[in-house]
Amino acid sequence: MPGELIAGPPPLLGFCAWGSNTGKTTLLTSVIPVLKLHGLRISVIKHAHHAFDIDHPGKDSYRLREAGAVQMLLGSSKRWALMTELSHIEPQRTEADLAELLTHIDPSLADIILVEGFKQEAIPKIEIYRPSLDRPLLAATDPHIIAVAADGAVPTSLPVLDLNDPIAIAEFVLQWLKNQSGNRP
């Protein structure tokens, strides 16, 4: 595992799994509304292993970025999005760095930052585990995993949460937040 624990404020809690298509996003999309009902403001950082685009050919922002803009900020009264084209300034860059990405999150807008992916990072994490996929349990070697959300039996002494019960997982997150010094659920 990488070195020193990465911390907020606000608190960071990761959701990780051995690979893709394990249900990380599905779980988060069901847990986030429950956490919001408890008054939490939630930011999310999601890792992508591939090139991705949030705008599309023909759109002005796409055309400006394709023309060579290193950063393209698109804003309206409802939202804003900043795209930074790293391939223009660091063509050999391989993966996004969580510590760097955190600098782009406004901590005043969130009570918690949920991190999807970034399984190698030194942050508290809940592992999504499906025994039927026959993959190794990350919690066996990652001391930063605080619980396992699974859809079957798990050989661990950590808390095991029902992957299909977003309310129970949200309650675990709320209790974890309460245990963090100076934070409220």
Lowest mean pLDDT across 13-22, 88-97, 120-129, 152-161: 88-97
The tens digit of pLDDT for each residue in 97-128 reads 898 889 889 999 999 999 998 999 999 999 99
Kindly list the domain boundaries of the chain, sorted by start residue: 1-49+95-185, 51-94
Nearest alpha-carbon partner for 20 in 170, 133, 149: 133
Mean pLDDT of the chain: 88
Q: Which CATH class is domain 1-49+95-185?
A: alpha beta
Beta strand pairing call for 112-116 and 12-16: parallel
CA distance 129 to 131: 6
Q: For the chain, how big is the Rg over CA atoms in Å?
A: 18
129 pLDDT exceeds 50?
Answer: yes
7 pLDDT exceeds 90?
Answer: no
Q: Which uninterrupted H or E stretch holds 146? A: strand 145-150
Predicted TM-score (pTM) of this structure: 0.87
Cβ contact 126:15 at 8 Å: yes
